[in-house]
A and B are shown apart, each in its own frame.
Chain A
Amino acid sequence: MGDSSYRTPLSRARGLGSAHDGVARFISERATSVALVPLSLWAIYGALKISHAGYAGATAFLQSPVNAVLAVLLIAVTALHMKMGMQVIIEDYVHQPRSKIPALLLNSAVCWLAGALGVFSILKVALLGAGAH
């Protein structure tokens, strides 16, 4: 997440400091956390709403544009938040490059795959309705 609007001109001119990384990660972690406060509360509401509604109820829930969009955002923002969280965990505990680098790549792959599958599945049900499968 390169959010260069947060950087001062001097910081841009000097390049990155000793961490060889800017503040973009820090901001993305906080921004996704803040977004997930309302999104996860909505997710609990949604889960309760469809919990005993069966296939018909779940697909009907996603026909509403608001529900579909919030569901897509929930998956996407969570996938990003969890990728960053797991990355920190890997960096904290795995130090040998031969295991750290594959672990970091695997984490990225899992999060991207989960995000893409989740978003696609929701859009499929939302756009094509219950009958298209």
Chain B
Amino acid sequence: MSQVKADAKAPTCARRAAPMSPHLQIWRWHVTMAASIATRATGVALYVGLLIVVGGALTLALGPSAYGTFMTVMGSPLGLLVLFGLAVSIFYHLAAGLRHLAFDSGKGFLPATANATAWASFAFGIVAAIAVFIGAFMIKG
């Protein structure tokens, strides 16, 4: 009886669920598929990012010592790593968003075009983030 496979993958099913055929291990990665996943992942990262920004605004309203602590934490190695991740996220998500707005108007669906804009979005995310960080260090002097 324990060898009988459940005929439905209902999460509340008490019997062992049927095994799924492999997909992520088998399906060849496409840049468009990665772009879609990355758009969602960077969206989640930016959700946390806004909470950090709101935290910063709150410390600004609370006074110089609270704000100073916030800036010290953001300037720490871990803080800078988080900021860089957020920078890549915002620039990638921006490029991906523009790409989706083009899709909404019906443009850009040819596979060659969709692939090219997907690669361009990834490149923009990283290059723009690096540029902003270089700019920030130059301002620091």
Q: Using CB atoms and an 8 Å cutoff, list the residues of chain A in contact with chain B.
A: 30, 33-34, 36-37, 40-41, 44, 48, 51-52, 54-55, 58-59, 62, 71, 75, 78-79, 82, 85-86, 89, 95-96, 110, 114-115, 117-118, 120-122, 124-125, 133
10 residue pairs of the A-B complex, CB under 8 angstroms, read A37-B97, A51-B140, A55-B64, A96-B11, A110-B51, A121-B58, A121-B60, A121-B61, A125-B60, A133-B62
B35 within 8 A of A: no
Does any Cβ of A come within 8 Å of B50's Cβ?
A: yes
Determine the distance from Cα of A125 to Cα of B47 in the docked complex, in whole angstroms.
24
Name the residue on A nearest B53 (C-beta): A118
Central interface residue in B61, B71, B97, B139, by most chain A CB within 10 Å:
B61
Bound-state Cα–Cα, A95 to B71, Å: 40
Q: Which of B13-21, B26-34, B38-46, B107-115 contacts A (4 or more CB under 8 A)?
A: B38-46
A37 touching B98, Cβ below 8 Å: yes
Indicate if the CB atoms of B43 and A58 lie closer than 8 Å.
no
Per the bound structure, the CA–CA distance linking A51 and B61 in Å amounts to: 16
Nearest Cβ distance between residue B138 and chain A, in whole angstroms? 10
At the interface, yes or no: B119 with Cβ under 8 Å from chain A?
no
Contact B136 A82, beta carbon cutoff 8 Å:
no
**Does B77 belong to the interface (CB within 8 Å)?**
no
Q: Are B139 and A51 in contact (CB under 8 A)?
A: yes
Evaluate contact between A117 and B136: CB separation under 8 angstroms. Answer: no
Does B57 interact with chain A (Cβ within 8 Å)?
yes
- The 8 Å CB contact of A51, one of B11, B64, B136, is B136
Chain A residues near B40: list those with CB within 8 A.
89
Q: Chain B, 99-141, contact with A by CB distance < 8 Å: what is the 0/1 string? A: 0110010000000000000000000000000001001100111
Enumerate chain A residues within 8 angstroms of B68, measured Cβ to Cβ: 55
Nearest A-chain residue to B64, judged by Cβ: A55
- In the assembled complex, the Cα of A37 lies from the Cα of B97 at a distance in Å of 9
A33 and B101 contact, Cβ closer than 8 Å, known pairs A75-B54, A96-B11, A125-B61 = yes
Cα of A125 to Cα of B50 in the assembled complex, Å: 18
Does B84 make an interface contact (CB < 8 A)? no
Check A133–B136 contact: CB distance below 8 A. Answer: no
Across-interface contacts of A52 in B (CB, < 8 A): 136, 139-141
| B16, chain A: closest CB distance, angstroms | 19
The answer on a CB contact under 8 Å between B47 and A75 is no
Q: In the assembly, what is the distance between CA of A71 and CA of B54, in Å? A: 11
Q: State whether A48 and B135 are in contact (beta carbons under 8 Å apart), knowing that A30-B101, A89-B40 are contacts in the complex.
A: yes
Q: Is A117 a contact partner of B64 (Cβ separation < 8 A)? A: no
